[in-house]
Copies of this chain bind each other. A is one copy, B any other.
Amino acid sequence: MPIQLTPWGVSGEIEKADYLRLIKEFGTQPLNERLLERLKKHTRDLHFMLRRGIFFSHRDFDWILDNVEKGREFYLYTGRGPSGNTHVGHLVPWMLTKWLQEKFHCKFYFQLTDDEKFFYNEHLSLEDTKKYAYENALDLIALGFEHKNTKLIIDTEYIKELYPLAAKVAKKLTYSTVKASFGFKDSTNVGLIFFTSLQSAPCFLESVKEGKNIPCLIPHAIDQDPHFRITRDIAPKIGFFKPAAIHNKFLPGLGKEGKMSASQPETAIFTTDNPNEARKKIMRAYSGGAKTLAEHKEKGGNPEVDVACQYLLFLFEEDDKKVEDIFEDYKAGSIGSKEVKHYLADKVERFLKEHQLKREKSRKVLDKFILRD
């Protein structure tokens, strides 16, 4: 079954072929070797997520590099819909954003859409989503961002600045467009119908603040592309640059066939998980491998499907050589799923312990990051 992808849900398992299909369907560009080599001229090295194709697609990233090469500035923007705790998959675009910010010394806006998740989720109050917004923000700060060049936008807190910009987008955006882009129905609530305008606002915020157009680059998971496709259509009509983007693949979940579900906490590793519990989740994770160790040793396994292998690839093993070795050994059947899981679990435990310390420290500085009217 082909996957169904909207900003509010992915159904089905995503395979390599689906990402190629998405590039075609969405009309984005592949983030190819040539472009990465061009980027590397400015950054000297490439982040492992770029080297490994975790970021696989883009819109106008070449134009961002044009600007860089002309000595012009750009800024970064990404975000999070605060419907629950942060899981490690959310960290993928945030980590790349951190790397880009270090390389290009640019300003970064991070939007927490508490209104969106309130509109979308029957069971969440605005108080709930705002609480999650503050909690999720700690995870971002824990990655090492600094308040001088990183600003957090919580929609309901910063609405006075966002709303006039969102209104300009909304005036140019018809119901028929959002219906086609997001699959809305007549029974969709008017909050969600309006919402995409608010996700557009940070694409223009720095231009408004600086009184001149400044290019915006958005590292984000590919499912958010329908939002920014709309933004890009409208941007020139209201006098702004189209935002550029680079798109990442989804970290698979720990559940069967890579499923990750908010209602099934055992299918994801949350940044707030007890490290011991996280180890248990990993050990219980679906691996898609052979039924017996003997069979695995004989036939080998598929690291493209094995969740533990994928977690090492996406996030937890920065050393390419080690990833390569593990993948080769796993394919050959000389190491089993359990061993890879143990290796990953050690990494994850260490990461969580460190992250949770930094996360708690972030509470003290959180307020300095938050934009208020």
Q: Which A residues are closer than 8 A to B by beta carbons?
A: 115, 118-119, 126, 156-157, 159-160, 163-164, 167-168, 170-176, 178-179, 184-191, 193-194, 196-197, 373
Contacts and interface: CB of A to CB of B under 8 A. Distances in A.
Contacts of A170: 119, 189-191, 194
Interface of A is mostly: helix
A186 B177 CA distance: 8
Given A159-B163, A175-B187, 11 more contacts: A118-B171, A167-B191, A170-B190, A170-B194, A174-B189, A174-B190, A175-B175, A175-B189, A176-B187, A193-B193, A194-B194
A185 B176 CA distance: 8
A166 to B, nearest CB: 8
Contacts of A119: 167, 170-171
Contacts of A175: 175, 184-190, 193
17 contacts: A115-B163, A115-B167, A156-B163, A159-B163, A163-B163, A170-B190, A170-B194, A171-B191, A172-B189, A173-B189, A173-B191, A174-B186, A175-B186, A175-B190, A175-B193, A190-B194, A193-B194
Contacts of A193: 175, 190, 193-194
